[in-house]
């Protein structure tokens, strides 16, 4: 009784081996057909495990693709960062305006980085873009109307060396952009104070005997 059972088991093992051999031969033939007999641009790679077909060109493209960075989702909630207030005028500068010149109503008009156009001698002007102006309240109603009618105003400017000079203050409208400008004697201010591209400056306004004045401070 044991011999027929053993023979039956042996036959089943033989059948499994034959199936595996046929499968291996089939895969070898498929690889030969897909890789050797087709043109290079249509050749395929055969993946025995996943049983997927991919062209060699597609495989090369994926090989040269940069790995996509994994996005890390932080569970921490970041608190909004409040911008730091601009620095105030140094005591010496403020004392000169308030005590020696009798100025009142100090207002920061703008804090900006000097661009090449601000120190270009052929331009001879310092731009004060509306988009960077801290407030327009330094102008009274009469001054605002004069500038609106394109009437230049002669102002007193206190430069970084605490030297007073007369300068022209005007408003320009260029397309959809509006800006204030200091012109006329601006080149001398640049030269006397060695202003350069990249310098950070502040322009303050104040009144002396109800007349508008400016103070330029280099940070």
- Give 31-73 pLDDT, tens digit per residue: 655 555 555 554 555 455 444 444 444 443 333 334 455 555 5
19 occurs within a structural domain:
no
Which is more confidently placed, 21 or 110? 110
138 occurs within a structural domain:
yes
State if pTM tops 0.85: no
Q: What is the CA radius of gyration of the chain?
A: 40
Residue whose token pair is 């970084």: 160
Structural domain count, the chain? 1
Phi-psi region for residue 150, left (φ > 0), alpha (ψ -120 to 50) or beta?
A: left
Q: Is the dihedral of CA 100, 106, 112, 117 positive or negative?
A: negative
Phi-psi region for residue 111, left (φ > 0), alpha (ψ -120 to 50) or beta?
A: beta
Tell me how far apart the alpha carbons of residues 91 and 98 are, in angstroms, rounded to a whole number: 10
32 occurs within a structural domain:
no
63 occurs within a structural domain:
no
Which is more confidently placed, 27 or 193? 193
For residue 143, the domain's CATH number is 2.40.330.10
pLDDT band at 106; cut points 50, 70, 90: very high
Residue 4 has pLDDT above 60, yes or no: no
Range of the domain at 95: 91-218
134 occurs within a structural domain:
yes
197 occurs within a structural domain:
yes
DSSP letter for 170, please.
E
Tell me how far apart the alpha carbons of residues 183 and 190 are, in angstroms, rounded to a whole number: 11
Residue 174 has pLDDT above 60, yes or no: yes
Report which secondary-structure segment, H or E, holds 58: helix 56-64
Residue whose token pair is 């970041």: 78
Give CA angle at 111 (109, 113), nearest 5°: 140
Query: Stretch 21-37: mean pLDDT, rounded?
Result: 60
Report which secondary-structure segment, H or E, holds 151: none
Tell me how far apart the alpha carbons of residues 158 and 34 are, in angstroms, rounded to a whole number: 84
141 occurs within a structural domain:
yes
Q: Concatenated DSSP letters for 176-192? A: TEEEEEEESSHHHHHHH
Residue 218 has pLDDT above 70, yes or no: yes
11 occurs within a structural domain:
no
Q: Count CA atoms closer than 13 A to 200's CA, side-chain side.
A: 4
């Amino acid at each position: 009784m044991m011999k027929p059972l053993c023979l039956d088991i042996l036959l089943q093992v033989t059948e499994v081996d034959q199936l595996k051999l046929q499968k291996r031969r089939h895969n070898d033939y498929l690889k030969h057909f897909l890789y050797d007999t087709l043109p290079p641009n249509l050749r395929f790679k055969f993946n025995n495990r996943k049983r997927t077909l991919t062209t060699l060109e597609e495989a090369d493209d994926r090989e040269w693709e940069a790995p996509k960075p994994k996005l890390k989702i932080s569970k921490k909630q970041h608190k909004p960062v409040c911008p730091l207030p601009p620095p105030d005028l140094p005591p010496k500068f403020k004392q000169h305006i308030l005590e020696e010149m009798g100025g009142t109503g100090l207002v920061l008009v703008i804090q900006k980085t000097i661009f090449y156009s601000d120190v270009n001698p052929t331009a001879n002007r310092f731009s004060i873009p509306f988009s960077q102006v801290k407030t327009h309240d330094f102008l009274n109603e009469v001054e605002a109307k004069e500038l609106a009618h394109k009437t230049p105003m002669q102002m007193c400017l206190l430069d970084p060396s605490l030297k007073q000079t007369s300068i022209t203050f005007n408003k320009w409208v260029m397309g959809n952009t509006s800006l204030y400008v200091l012109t006329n004697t601006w080149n001398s201010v640049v030269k006397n104070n060695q202003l350069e591209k990249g310098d950070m400056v502040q322009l303050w306004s104040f009144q002396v005997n109800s007349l508008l004045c400016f103070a330029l401070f280099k940070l």
